[in-house]
Each structure stands twice: as structure tokens, then as C-alpha cells.
Structure 1
Amino acid sequence: MAERLTAREAVALVTDDFAPVAVPAGRPDPLGWPGYDASRARAAERTGEDESVLYGTATVGGRPCVLAVFEFGFLGGSLGRSAGDRLVDAFAEAGARRLPLVSLVATGGSRMQEGMIALTQLQRVAAAAVRLRAAGVPHVTVLRDPSTGGGWATVGAGADVVLALPGAQVAFAGSRVRPARADPAAYTAEDQFRHGHVDAIVPPDGLRGTLALWLRLLTPGDPSDRPAPPPRALGGRSLPGSGWDAVRQARDERRPRAGAYLDAYFDVRATVGGDRAGGADAGVECGFGVHDGRVVAYAAQLGGATRPAGFRTVARLVRLADRLGTPVLTLIDTPGAANDAEAERAGAGPAIAEAFTAIAEARTPVTSLLVGEGGSGGALALAAPGNTWVTPDAYFSVIAPELAAQILKRPPSEVPSTADGLRLRPQDLVDLGVVRGIVGHGEAPSVR
């Protein structure tokens, strides 16, 4: 169980300074609930706050933002009309100032004493979040203990980047309404992370630095239509002589992988994890980083078969970058999409379609580099039409040569000649117009 921080303790943990907005304390009692006014008065005396939410402007690691913070000690951090007003105002203030919104969530859900008036605050918050997204302003949330109910399902889960403190309860179902035999692990930040709903678990002593980095990465400053340059080739390989040579070079375990390209390309980076639909794919890394002083979003296949959650995470990353006006770099390296029964049940086809669609509809420039295997549609789904490059030790093919030979009823001895016929070498891809050019070791990209 995580330590339960008060609102002011949470603010002190992450901010350099905080200037709360003075808001007259509301005294709503739409249901005439017996003792409600007295409960509010006791909560105010106990916490020093006049409502479960406070907001204002702040700096985190020297970076300005609008901060909204929940006080769990005030009626369980619950949402009523007055708290809803403050959240809506915080979203509006962030949009008007074009400052990122940071929310520090700790809530048990909607306030029972205000009935449906309390529940409808979720609609108001959702509408405020839509307006903030339309303005191209990011929202980063930190989930404290507990983050449950409607506060998790709107403010928390609706953020662009979701961070959580270790051990925090994170769930739609609060502790008093869960099934008696429910697995307690399912209601933790760690389990939400494993299933793709939380981007990172961050210990308290690292939270300020992590937030400051995300504020840097999500506010690129000067969005432009200039694409990110493709990385330079690593490894010093020469162009392959045959199609089968190209396949063997791409499959060589000593070949530089996407992780090495990311390390060389970015000065600093942070990852987003999970597809927000119950899945996370360890074979795909997505995030934002700084290259040559400029923020670039990235999605990288790490060499294995890409699972549906990976494609959905790529789509999520591209759409967020597009909304913020941040250029995107994709690194392609996969033998293909996962095709086992579990992948099919998880929606392999729809997930691949989602990745294709996200790149096709992106207004921000997308640059792609094929760094290894380019297996069929699972690889092409990450490729930018008209701005895809290739390294000397990579190949792109409609299907693996072995499978192509099987389909064509050729013996295994004809796999190498089948690879030649597929014209999958880097130089073939340039000649066919599939890629824009070959990046050379230690050289700037040039069009052949």
C-alpha cells in the first residue's frame, strides 16, 4: 500500500512553487442530504482545504504548468458539483494559457451526498478534456493512493501520459464495492501498468524529475512541418549481393537493433507504455525524445513479431504526436505480425489497420527507417509513405522467402532464388520506389 499523501504534500513533492487559485467554497446540497454541511465542515477543519480539489499555476523542474490536485482527506477526494467546477476551470485555464495540465489524482469517486449531480461531473470533465485536446495542450496525470471510480475513469485514464506511485490502488471499482473474491492484484497500479493502462510506475523521489522531463517532451515549443531526419546507419555493413544475402544480414544476431539506434539518436527519451485496451507489447517501444535540441516522437519494433497491443500503442503514439505537432520517427524491424491464436483473438487485423490509419491520417511529418527485417504488412504498417529509408543490412518483402516458396510449392532448395525474385534488397527497394534511399554508415542520408 502506497503512502497516502495529502494534497499539499503531493504538491510539495513535485513542484518548485504553486500558486493556487482562490475559489469561493461552494455549498451545494442538491439532495438535502442530512448532515452533509456538517460533514463538509469537519472535512475542512481536518484538512485545511475547503473542497476535494484545488488548482492553480505551478512550475515543475522550472517548467510551467497548470496543476490540479485532489485532497483525499476531504470526503474521500470525491467529486461533487464544486469539485467538478474546479476541475473544469483547471482544464480551461491550461487551454487558455497553453500550458500543460498536471493532475495529481487521489479519489474514491463520485460524492454520494450529491447523487446524480455528482455523477454528471464526469461528463463535464470529459468535455473539458476534449476541449484541451482540441487545443493541442497535453495532460499528464499522477495516480496517488487511491485513484478509483470516476476520477480514475476521467481525469486519470483520460490523460495523455499516466504515471503512478508504487503500490497505489488504481481501479474503477473502489475498495468497498469490489466482488468479495476478486483478485486484489487487479486493483493496483502495477497491474494496470502490466495491462497497458499506465505508462510508468515512478517512485516518489523520482517523480519531480520524471514530470519535468515529460513537460519538456510534450511541449516541443515550435512545431513545424520539417520531418525528423532518419538515423545514420550503425554497423558498417555493405550492400548485399543477393536477396538471400540481404535476408541473412537482417537476421544476423550481431546486427544493431532498434534500441541501439534509439540510444544513438536521442539525447534523452521517455516511453509511453500500453495500448489502453488491456495490452502491452514488450517487442515495441514508443515514446518521445530529444534529438539535436528538437522533440521527436518515436515508435520502434525491437525485432520480434509485433503483437496487436504493439500496433495499437504505435497508433496511440502517432495520434498524440499529431495532436501536439511533434514529428514522428518509426524504426521498422519485425519478421511480421504475430499470427498465433491469441493474437487473432486480440484483434491482430483491426490493430494493424489502426496503425496504418494513424500514419495515413497524420498531419505531422512521419519518417521511417527500416533497420532489419521488414516482414509483410506487420512491417509496412509502421512505414511512412514517401519518407521511408533503409539501412544496408535490412530487407522488405511481401512475405518471408521461405513462406513465399511454400505458397509457390517450391522446394526448400529454391528459397534463395525466391528471395532474389522478390527483389527485397535495399538497392532493389530504391529502384522499385518503395523506399526513398539508403542510409550509409556514418553518412548523411542520400537519395540514390
Structure 2
Amino acid sequence: MPERRLSAREILALVTDPSTFIELPAPAGESAPDGPLAWQGYDASRARAAERTGESESVVCGTASVLGTQAVLIAFEFGFLGGSLGERTGDRLEAAYTHARTHRLPVVPLVATGGSRMQEGMLALTQLQRVARQSALTREAGLPQIAVLRDPTTGGGWATLGAGADVTLALPGAQVGFAGSRVRPPDADPTAYTAEAQVTAGSADAVVQLPALRETLGLWLRLLMGGHAGVAAGSRAAGAARVGAAAPRTRGQATPAPSAGPPAPVPAALGTAAHPATGWDAVQHARSPQRPRAEAYLSAYFTHRAAISGDRAGGTDTKGMLCGFGNHAGRTVAYAAQTGTATRPAGYRTAARLIRLADRLGIPVLTLVDTPGAANDAEAERQAAGPAIAELFGAVAAARTPVTTLVIGEGGSGGALALAAAGNTWATPDSYFSVIAPELAAAILKRPADQVEATADQLRIRPQDLVELGVIRGIVGPVNP
């Protein structure tokens, strides 16, 4: 069951710092009697809604700080005609987004709406185009949008303010779906229209308990608005020991955005410091159960972090790809990290979503490569594995923000290379990178099983081989060399 339905003022009081909320003035404008359609009784309905809620419209817009970060907040009042959108709602939303861009502030919609206002007909529905335009302009301005889905979030409000945000959080048990409960098919599974189901389907990032909402919002705002903080400190903290460095190859890498600052520092190696003697040794080290995985690297690198989840196309791969933003040496860094398993199509699409968002916000990106390869089962093909990998290749290639890559384990073919930065890829001593796994290479060449180890040597997949070939820049040293 959802939390008790809070009013607009109650949710604002819960998430903002005390006494910081300043309501934006409502844009001037008058409606025709009973609205643009002369819908009989519409004025009376509005008057009753105003008396019941104390509000003159279905949204309350203003500025406030959330754990010290200033933002524009848009809180829906569901008690006012079901939080529906009409022309005057659109006026307020447009004014709020314009204020955000003028003052370089992030936007936080706290959504609770049943959709567009029927008493205003198509004029109400077209407000969604206004909202979409304002959201797009804000995105182009490099300002983040973090939505909170309350109960209920349906119709056009979900399809614009909610699903269109950069990060989408939801309250437990909230009804979330394009179709509201009164219009969906009678035999529809109600569990599909919940916050939890939308997270599972990759359409929202996380369910957040109400008592933790302010802290969670504050963390996200600090991270997404902190891309330029501590740049000098971040540059000085490039501390991992590097050996065998080779000159970087650019290979058409996009020019970094001027506002992005220097690349994210390369993490230090957490595993063995010994370089593999043979290609097969490199494979064995990378496949060892004792080798540190992505979670260990992320925990060592970031003081705190927040994860995004889902490809916004119906899928998640939280077991195979970890994506989000964190604080490293006082600076925000985005991360996309493979976990050692075969990466699913949703994982590639989520990583591409992460990189595009970081690029818009001028936040550097760290990627950790560790996969035997892309998932190649029939279901992966049905989920468009090839286009998903192509999307990630394109996102990395087009990024203006700098991308730093560390190979921490297996680098299996194109499924690994899609996450790697051209000209700024490094490797740990217990990793390898190969055009194909040695076993598969031997099979393709019709060699017997006892030739697999020799094939690994011929492929030249050791970290030191990759430096010599100019494929990577260098090999990072351990924490305690």
C-alpha cells in the first residue's frame, strides 16, 4: 500500500530545508467562464477544490534548498481536481522551468496527477507539449531534473515530468503508469502499475522510503550539480602508480567539453601487483574468484555514490552493469562498471544513458571493464543486443566529457570494448583484453584443446602486451605497491 497521500505543502515541507521555500508568483491570466470549453459547472468545481485544499491550482511551484542545494520544486496537489493539468497549470510549469534556467537551478517535480483536465479538452492535453518543450530546453541548458513519483502518477504527467526526468525516484506502493485505474483494461494486472514494477521494468531508478526522501534528493542534487567542484583536487588525486605508460592514441575521440574539466583519475589496482608471465596466466588471473570486482573498486574510489537503474526501454541489468554518480576527492564522477558477467542488452543501454547524462551535465566518466563478453543467448538477440552495443559505442565516441577506462578483469571482445575510452584506457595487472576468448579462438581455428594456452600467447592479451601494442596507456599499480 502507498504512503498516506500528502498534500503539496506537506511534501514540500518534508523534502526542503526549514524556512527556505519561496513560492513563485503565479503568472497573470484569467480563464473564460467555465473554462475554454464553457464546461458547465467547471468554475464551481474549481472553487470547491480551492476551498478544500487552500490552493488556486493543481501545482505549487517555488525555490528552496534541499540539504543545502538550491532547486526549483514543483509539487502537485492531487486534492485539486486530481492534480490534473490545465492551461493555468501549464502557465505555472512553464514559469517554473524558465526560472530554473534563468537562475541555473535543477528542477525537482514532485508528481501526483491523474492526467490532463477533461473540462478543458484538447487545450489541456496540449499542455504536455509545453511541458515537454520546457523539459527539453532545461536539458539543453545542462541542468538536471530529478522527479519523485507520488501516488498516483498517471497519464501525461507520468509521460512527461516523471518518465522524462534524468533521475526518477518513486515512493513505495505508488500507482505509476500511463493508464490510470479507471481507464485500464478490466483484466489488467494491477501490480504492473506500481512504483516497484516500474523500477523492475527499467522505467524508474529506485523506490525511496518517505523518511529517506529528503536525504536521497539532497544527495542526488549535490552529485548532479557538483560536476565542477573540486576539479583541482581531483586533478591532483590521480594517485595510482602507473607503469609502462605508452603514448595515448586518440583514434577520433571527441573533444572534451570545455566545462568538464580534467578526466576522472584512474583508480589504483586492488589485486595482485605481479604481471602475468604468459597469456594464459593473464586469463587465469582475470578469471580468479579471488580477484577484486567492480563493487570493491567503486567502494574504494568513491566516498559516497547514488545508482541509476534501467534502460528506459523495459529492461535492467543490475547484476551485470552498475551505473551511477559518486563523489571522488570532492568532485562528482559518473561511473559505468561491468561486474564480471556477460553483459545484457539492458546493461549496455543503461550505460549509454549514463554517459549521455554525464555529458550534458559536464561530469567526467569512469568506466570499469570486466566481462567475458556480451550475452549471446537467444533472449539477448531478441532484446536487440547488437543495437544496444552500437548505442554504447556511439555514446562513448560522441561524448564531449572525458571518459577514463580501467580494465579490471576480463576484456572480452566487442562487449568489453564498447565501454572503453579510445586513448584513455588503462589496465590492472590481473586483467586481459582480447579480440576473442582463447578457447573460442582455438575452436574457430580448429585447433585441439591442448593448443588453447599457446593461442592465448599468440593473441598477445597480457596487459604489458597491450601497452606495447598501443591499445592501452599503461598498467596501474596497487594500493600498496
TM-score per shorter chain, which class?
over 0.9
Structure 2 CA distance, aligned partners of 1:178 and 1:64? 39
Cα RMSD after superposing both structures: 1.0
Aligned counterparts, 1:68-217, within 5 A? 68-217=74-223
Q: Which residue identity does 1:7 align to in structure 2?
A: A
Structure 1 stretch displaced more, 22-31 or 154-163: 22-31
Structure 2 CA distance, aligned partners of 1:130 and 1:180? 35
Structure 2 CA distance, aligned partners of 1:190 and 1:225? 37
Q: Secondary structure at the match of 1:399?
A: coil
Aligned match for 2:21, one of 18, 24, 28: 18
Equivalence for 2:9:
8
Equivalence for 2:262:
226
Structure 1 CA distance, aligned partners of 2:189 and 2:58? 29
Aligned counterparts, 1:407-446, within 5 A? 407-442=444-479
Structure 1 stretch displaced more, 176-185 or 19-28: 19-28
Structure 1 CA distance, aligned partners of 2:103 and 2:478? 45
Equivalence for 1:296:
333
Change in 2 beyond 3 A, CA 1:26/1:252: farther
Structure 2 CA distance, aligned partners of 1:365 and 1:221? 12
Alignment check: 8 A CA contact 1:232 1:443 kept: no
Q: Secondary structure at the match of 1:174?
A: coil
Equivalence for 2:250:
none
Structure 1 CA distance, aligned partners of 2:444 and 2:69? 57
Structure 2 CA distance, aligned partners of 1:225 and 1:308? 31
Equivalence for 1:263:
299
* 1:39 equivalent in alignment to 2:37: no
Q: Which residue identity does 1:313 align to in structure 2?
A: T
Q: Secondary structure at the match of 2:458?
A: helix
Structure 1 CA distance, aligned partners of 2:210 and 2:414? 42
Alignment check: 8 A CA contact 2:24 2:96 kept: no
* 1:63 equivalent in alignment to 2:49: no
Q: Secondary structure at the match of 2:260?
A: coil
Equivalence for 1:27:
31
Structure 1 CA distance, aligned partners of 2:387 and 2:139? 25
Q: Deviation at 1:236? A: 2.8
Structure 1 CA distance, aligned partners of 2:89 and 2:181? 22
Structure 1 CA distance, aligned partners of 2:469 and 2:279? 14
Alignment check: 8 A CA contact 2:227 2:260 kept: no
Structure 1 stretch displaced more, 392-401 or 20-29: 20-29
- Using the size of structure 1 for normalisation, the TM-score is 0.98
Query: C-alpha deviations, 1:277-330, integer Å up to 9, x for none?
Result: 000002111000000111000000011000000000000000000000000000
Q: Which residue identity does 2:288 align to in structure 1?
A: D
Structure 2 CA distance, aligned partners of 1:205 and 1:25? 38
Alignment check: 8 A CA contact 2:369 2:410 kept: yes
Structure 1 CA distance, aligned partners of 2:416 and 2:147? 32
Alignment check: 8 A CA contact 1:143 1:168 kept: yes
Aligned match for 1:323, one of 350, 353, 360: 360
Q: After TM superposition, where is structure 1 displaced by more than 4 Å over at least 4 residues in a row?
A: none
Aligned counterparts, 1:369-388, within 5 A? 369-388=406-425
Q: Deviation at 1:22? A: 2.4
Q: Deviation at 1:224? A: 3.2
Alignment check: 8 A CA contact 1:27 1:37 kept: no
Structure 1 CA distance, aligned partners of 2:354 and 2:329? 21
- What percentage of aligned pairs have identical amino acids? 68
Alignment check: 8 A CA contact 1:387 1:436 kept: yes
Alignment check: 8 A CA contact 1:52 1:83 kept: yes
Does 1 or 2 have the higher relative contact order (CA < 8 Å, sep 6+)? 2
Query: C-alpha deviations, 1:125-162, integer Å up to 9, x for none?
Result: 00111100110000001000000000000001000000
Q: Deviation at 1:26? A: 4.4
Structure 1 stretch displaced more, 44-53 or 223-232: 223-232
Structure 1 CA distance, aligned partners of 2:86 and 2:403? 43
- Using the size of structure 2 for normalisation, the TM-score is 0.91
Q: Deviation at 1:431? A: 0.5
Q: Secondary structure at the match of 1:249?
A: helix
Structure 2 CA distance, aligned partners of 1:22 and 1:37? 22
Alignment check: 8 A CA contact 1:25 1:50 kept: no
For structure 2, the residue ranges without an aligned partner over 5 or more in a row are 229-258
Structure 2 CA distance, aligned partners of 1:297 and 1:22? 36
Q: Which residue identity does 2:477 align to in structure 1?
A: G
Count of matched residue pairs: 444
Structure 1 CA distance, aligned partners of 2:322 and 2:91? 38
Q: Secondary structure at the match of 1:162?
A: strand
Q: Deviation at 1:378? A: 0.4
Structure 2 CA distance, aligned partners of 1:408 and 1:7? 67
For structure 1, the residue ranges without an aligned partner over 5 or more in a row are none
Query: C-alpha deviations, 1:106-136, integer Å up to 9, x for none?
Result: 0000000000000000011001111001100
Q: Secondary structure at the match of 1:185?
A: helix
Q: Deviation at 1:91? A: 1.1
